[in-house]
Structure 1
Amino acid sequence: MDELREKCIHQTIQLCSSQGLDFTMSQLAAKLGISKKTLYVLFESKEALLLEVVNYMFDGVKASEAELLARQDLDLAEKLCRLVVVMPDSYKTLDWRRLQGVEEKYPVVYRQIRQRLESGWEPTLELLRQGMAEGVLRPFEPGLLRAIVEGTIEHLLASDALEREGLDYVQALDGMMDLLMDGIRKREEEK
């Protein structure tokens, strides 16, 4: 990826975090110090730009996932907790609530998000199976956990749940993993 395209993507991520999906290509061009025409040479439309941003972000998630899988300092349970909700540190500061409504405004972009969210689960599923085989996890259907995680993330992006609950995206994902790993039953030490 050339340097200007990458700058466009990074600036788009910042605009999405501050303004949501309502930013204009003119605003983006002004932030970058380039003409709108130059921007349209790089990306034929705002939708094409957003599709590239989605792919860039998911590629970053996959790179973080690979780093996490290679770590030897984490036990299996900790690795699983982190793996399911892994994202690069730079994405944790984004205001994901601003992306609410992507399904309605940019259905093609939303389909790409769903496709990327629903693919590439093999390393995580394998680690879940390993956890069951080693007795770290009780037996369950890994595909069900996958469906719960996918459904939760899709819901968080498509609704006002984050704002309604007063959570940021990272808090919501961490809370989901806590519920998935430990359940809602009161722990012995809390009784």
Structure 2
Amino acid sequence: MLKDRILKVSMSEAERKGFRFTMGELAKQLGMSTKTLYGYYPSKEELLNEMIDLAIDEMKMKENEILHDSTLNLLEKLQKCLVLIPADFQFAQLQYLEELQRYYPKQWETVDQFIHEQWTGIFLLLDEGIAANKIRPINKEIFIEVYIGGLYRLMEHASKNRNMISLQDTMHEMVDILMFGILKGDVHEEN
């Protein structure tokens, strides 16, 4: 189906160049006229809406798979859920998220709302970990705010430095610090 092909090439363009690709460039990549492309997506914003909706749906589906994966232990599930990024649309670089925020505020609002509201699975894992005495009792709201604040701060930093930090690498590092801290395991025994 042509609409699926348009979405796939659009996601590839976003991964390669960020969200500032033009519809003309996209039409050229697809080997079609801009008029034909606009027949499927009357505006770039509508195309971005569908790209973002697909990415969010994929993340929800993957989170559900992780939560029900009996081969993973609790901490593995928590870590995998916290670093979830859609496979086909990894918002490959942090500055691309900031670009979306700056140039496409309505589309960013959808991503931002998802980032702030999609925590049910994480809360369940944290509660399970606390009940099993694998995670110390924490204020979950603060944990989430630290996570979101860290992500947004890293976006800002990436935008200013343009150092092409991989979002996936950054998320793994941030989640590792959030889950395991900065102290070595034997530090507590030294005191």
Shorter-chain TM band:
0.7 to 0.9
CA 161–186 in structure 1, closer or farther in 2 if over 3 Å, else same: farther
Aligned to 2:172: 174
CA 146–133 in structure 1, closer or farther in 2 if over 3 Å, else same: same
> Is the CA contact (8 Å cut-off) linking 2:10 and 2:26 kept in structure 1?
yes
CA 95–153 in structure 1, closer or farther in 2 if over 3 Å, else same: same
Which deviates more, 11-20 or 135-144? 11-20
Instruction: Read off the aligned partner of 1:30 and give its amino acid letter.
Output: K
Aligned to 1:131: 129
- Once the two structures are aligned, what percentage of the paired residues are identical? 28
Q: Does 1:122 align with 2:113?
A: no
Query: 1:114-133 deviations in whole A, cap 9, x for unaligned?
Result: 01212231121111111101
Instruction: Read off the aligned partner of 2:36 and give its amino acid letter.
Output: T
Aligned-pair distance for 1:156?
3.6
Q: Does 1:47 align with 2:61?
A: no
Pairing 1:21-40 to 2, within 5 Å after superposition: 21-40=19-38
Aligned-pair distance for 1:81?
0.8
CA 76–57 in structure 1, closer or farther in 2 if over 3 Å, else same: same
The separation in 2 between residues aligned to 1:96 and 1:73, in whole angstroms, is 31
Counterpart of 1:186 in 2: which secondary structure? coil
Could you tell me which runs of 5 or more consecutive residues in structure 1 were left unpaired when the two chains were aligned. Answer: none
What is the aligned counterpart of 2:150 among 138, 152, 155?
A: 152
Aligned to 1:102: 100
TM-score (norm 2): 0.86
Counterpart of 2:18 in 1: which secondary structure? helix
The separation in 1 between residues aligned to 2:3 and 2:154, in whole angstroms, is 28
> Is the CA contact (8 Å cut-off) linking 2:91 and 2:167 kept in structure 1?
no
> Is the CA contact (8 Å cut-off) linking 1:17 and 1:96 kept in structure 2?
no
CA 59–155 in structure 1, closer or farther in 2 if over 3 Å, else same: farther
Number of residue-to-residue matches in the alignment: 188
The separation in 2 between residues aligned to 1:77 and 1:33, in whole angstroms, is 46
Instruction: Read off the aligned partner of 1:146 and give its amino acid letter.
Output: I
CA 46–58 in structure 1, closer or farther in 2 if over 3 Å, else same: same
